[in-house]
């Protein structure tokens, strides 16, 4: 049997484009002599559809698309993902399902059993778990079909009470096939391959694992679909961050059918514990994920042009470089907004950066605007000393300026705040926290530096002075980030343990961190939730990103 693995990039709710893409892959697979074509979880509607699933019209369009795809099958079997209705009045109205299509119709529907309800996932909000399990008989073979999370519970502390494969293996299947929508983070593929290997070892049969690719607002899918034989050997691995159609032959053993599906080692340090922040870890893949996030946000939203407030600092430099690479320099504009506190080298560095990138840049000094604000506010401020109010005022003037250009020229503002700043509230609402998409909001400051070095791996794009100089918001004379925050090496280490590893103050104290400093940092994190709650979507690259995957109360008292 020849099996096609279709790793594709879908657009949530774009039924016409998704259906056309799936049908084209079916035709290509048929032309290549495939017997079976495998697609990813909820490919018909795109993942995650979220509350679109509450609209009857949305479900009806899903089912119509399934029928349209089924009509294309003929002599090739097809496995696609889409919601299906629950005919029973008890329970949720929908299942997350895999449809087996063959000879022009739906032959069988398999429902997902394990519905993740943690981090970015919220599937139990919409779907009923499966309560019965059947293999699919196809060309003399039995296929054990599962959906994403269904294979992820082979751990010491299982999240669920039952596993669908424990039921399916009793029917003596010949192969496991998993339809997945498994999001990227910079350690996830290591875990993913281990999970596939654990299933193969536990059940003694090969697995075809088809993942989706592309970005859906903040969530990035990296592909990396895999075919693994019964011995645990990866015989085919599809590329990361690219659409691909690959083939494997299965005649009792699995083998790759064509070149380009050979296993690769894109992820460094295969399945490590990841208990400490390593700023360099898988930085090449983080780079690809951010490019994917920018490209798909713009492409799927119908945007073409971006604008970046370029300060001559490391964060805006990295965002500007990524934007130019993702969208093309001709579609990216930089706006330099120096004040009387801006250093000459910051302006010069920003200009040099744009010249290196060959993107358009404009310079609008804000001193006169700032002084006009000071004059207007003087009757109310009453001669009070310069404070954070005047610092934030500069940031908000810059936010207003860059948004004016965004509105005038139809460009989308890319935000440059990093995770260290967002964690501690080191940013100005309606100022430097403005934007349509947070590019670096899931990267700690030390990771931003690592990414800058990676961008410069072949040539100097980001001027060396930007990497070498001390970080500063330049909102008052001689200001440095270290005036308000600990050194980033220390800060990032504590933040990583608290946010990603969920370590509390006692555990951090036992790890050797200064107790007073830990209390201060954790208080900053928790009391600034109100700022993050008003922030734009952040491209997710870590196991625990701000946004939909981290839900904290704004008015909570814990550690604040």
**pLDDT tens digits, 16-39:** 999 999 999 999 999 999 999 999
Band of pLDDT at residue 342, cut at 50, 70 and 90 = confident
- Provide CB contacts within 8 A for 50, sequence distance 6+: 122
Is the pLDDT assigned to residue 191 strictly greater than 90? no
Residues of each annotated binding site for L-glutamine? 118, 182
Cβ pair 425, 398 in contact under 8 A: no
The larger pLDDT score, comparing residue 478 to residue 214, is at: 214
d(CA 82, CA 49): 10
d(CA 199, CA 339): 59
Q: What is the average pLDDT across 310-319?
A: 97
Identify each DSSP E strand in 46-167 by its residue range. 77-85, 94-102, 105-111, 136-138, 141-147
> Concatenated DSSP letters for 446-477?
HHHHHHHHHHTSSS--S-HHHHHSPP---SST
Give the pLDDT confidence score for residue 485 in this predicted structure: 86
For 385, counting Cβ atoms within 10 Å of its Cβ (0-12 exposed, 13-18 middle, 19+ buried), the class is exposed
**pLDDT tens digits, 87-120:** 999 999 999 999 999 999 999 999 999 999 999 9
**pLDDT tens digits, 121-167:** 999 999 999 999 999 999 999 999 999 999 999 887 788 888 999 99
Beta bridge partners of 97: 82, 111
pTM of the model as a whole: 0.95
d(CA 333, CA 412): 10
Cβ pair 113, 129 in contact under 8 A: yes
Give the pLDDT confidence score for residue 209 in this predicted structure: 98
**pLDDT tens digits, 46-91:** 999 999 999 999 999 999 999 999 999 999 999 999 999 999 999 9
Percent of the chain with pLDDT over 90: 88
Cβ pair 424, 528 in contact under 8 A: yes
- Provide CB contacts within 8 A for 279, sequence distance 6+: 444, 446, 447, 449, 450, 492
Percent of the chain with pLDDT over 70: 97
Q: What is the average pLDDT across 370-376?
A: 96
Which SS3 state, helix, strand or coil, does residue 146 take? strand
The larger pLDDT score, comparing residue 173 to residue 157, is at: 173
Band of pLDDT at residue 477, cut at 50, 70 and 90 = confident
Is the pLDDT assigned to residue 269 strictly greater than 60? no
- Provide CB contacts within 8 A for 131, sequence distance 6+: none
- Provide CB contacts within 8 A for 468, sequence distance 6+: none
How does DSSP classify residue 151?
Answer: G
Active site residues: 41, 112, 148
d(CA 74, CA 278): 51
Give the pLDDT confidence score for residue 272 in this predicted structure: 44
Band of pLDDT at residue 182, cut at 50, 70 and 90 = very high
Give the pLDDT confidence score for residue 273 in this predicted structure: 53
Average pLDDT along the chain = 94
Band of pLDDT at residue 259, cut at 50, 70 and 90 = very low
Of 484, 458, 482, the C-alpha closest to 471 is: 482
For each of the domains in the chain, give its residue range(s) and CATH number, in order of start.
Answer: 2-256 (3.60.110.10), 283-481 (3.40.50.620)
d(CA 472, CA 102): 62
Give the pLDDT confidence score for residue 268 in this predicted structure: 43
Give the pLDDT confidence score for residue 343 in this predicted structure: 80
Band of pLDDT at residue 270, cut at 50, 70 and 90 = very low
How does DSSP classify residue 557?
Answer: -
Q: What is the average pLDDT across 454-476?
A: 91
d(CA 505, CA 405): 45
Band of pLDDT at residue 274, cut at 50, 70 and 90 = low
Residues of each annotated binding site? 118, 182, 309-316, 392, 416, 421, 531
**pLDDT tens digits, 346-372:** 899 999 999 999 999 999 999 999 999
């Amino acid at each position: 049997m020849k099996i096609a693995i279709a790793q594709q990039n879908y657009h949530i709710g774009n039924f016409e484009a998704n259906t056309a893409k799936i049908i084209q892959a079916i035709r290509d697979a048929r032309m290549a002599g495939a017997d079976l074509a495998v697609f990813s979880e909820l490919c018909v509607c795109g993942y995650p559809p979220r509350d679109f699933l509450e609209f009857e019209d949305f479900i009806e369009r899903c089912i119509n698309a399934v029928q349209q795809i089924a009509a294309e099958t003929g002599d090739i079997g097809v496995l696609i993902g889409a919601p299906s209705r629950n005919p029973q009045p008890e329970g949720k109205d929908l299942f997350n399902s895999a449809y087996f299509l063959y000879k022009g119709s739906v032959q069988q529907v398999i429902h997902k059993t394990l519905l993740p309800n943690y981090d970015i996932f919220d599937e139990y909000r919409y779907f009923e778990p499966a309560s019965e399990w059947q293999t699919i008989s196809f060309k003399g073979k039995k296929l054990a079909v599962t959906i994403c999370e269904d294979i992820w519970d082979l751990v010491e502390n299982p999240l669920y009470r039952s596993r669908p494969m424990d039921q399916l293996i009793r029917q003596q299947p010949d192969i496991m096939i998993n339809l997945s929508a498994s999001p990227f983070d910079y350690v996830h593929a290591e875990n993913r391959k281990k999970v596939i290997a654990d299933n193969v070892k536990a059940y003694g049969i090969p697995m075809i694992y088809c993942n989706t690719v592309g970005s859906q607002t903040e969530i990035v899918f990296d592909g990396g679909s895999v075919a693994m034989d019964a011995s645990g050997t990866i015989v085919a691995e599809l590329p990361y961050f690219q659409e691909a159609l690959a083939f494997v032959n299965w005649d009792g053993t699995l083998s790759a059918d064509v070149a380009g599906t050979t296993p690769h080692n894109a992820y460094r340090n295969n399945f490590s514990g990841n208990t400490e922040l390593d700023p360099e870890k898988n930085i090449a893949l983080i780079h690809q994920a951010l490019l994917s996030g920018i490209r798909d946000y713009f492409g799927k939203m119908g945007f073409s042009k971006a604008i970046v407030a370029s300060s001559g600092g490391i964060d805006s430099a990295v965002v500007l470089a990524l934007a130019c690479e993702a969208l093309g320099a001709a579609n990216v504009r930089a706006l330099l907004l120096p004040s009387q506190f801006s250093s000459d080298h910051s302006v010069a560095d920003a200009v040099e950066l744009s010249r290196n990138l060959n993107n358009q840049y404009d310079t609008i000094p804000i001193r006169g605007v700032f002084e006009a604000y000071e004059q207007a506010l003087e009757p109310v401020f009453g001669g009070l000393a310069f404070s954070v109010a005047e610092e934030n005022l500069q940031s908000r003037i810059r936010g207003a300026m860059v948004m004016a250009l965004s509105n005038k020229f139809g460009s989308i503002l890319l935000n440059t705040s990093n995770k260290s700043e967002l964690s501690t509230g080191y940013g100005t609402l309606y100022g430097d926290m403005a934007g349509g998409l947070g590019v670096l909001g899931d990267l700690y400051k030390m990771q931003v530096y690592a990414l800058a070095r990676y961008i410069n791996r072949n040539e100097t794009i980001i001027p060396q002075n930007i990497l070498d100089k001390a970080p500063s918001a330049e909102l008052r004379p001689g200001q440095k980030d270290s005036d308000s925050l600990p050194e980033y090496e220390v800060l990032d280490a504590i933040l990583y343990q608290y946010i990603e590893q969920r370590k509390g103050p006692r555990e951090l104290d036992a790890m050797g961190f200064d107790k007073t400093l830990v209390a201060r940092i954790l208080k900053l994190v928790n009391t600034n939730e109100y700022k993050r709650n008003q922030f734009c979507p952040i491209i997710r690259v870590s196991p625990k990103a701000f946004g939909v995957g981290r839900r904290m109360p704004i008015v909570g008292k814990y550690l604040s």
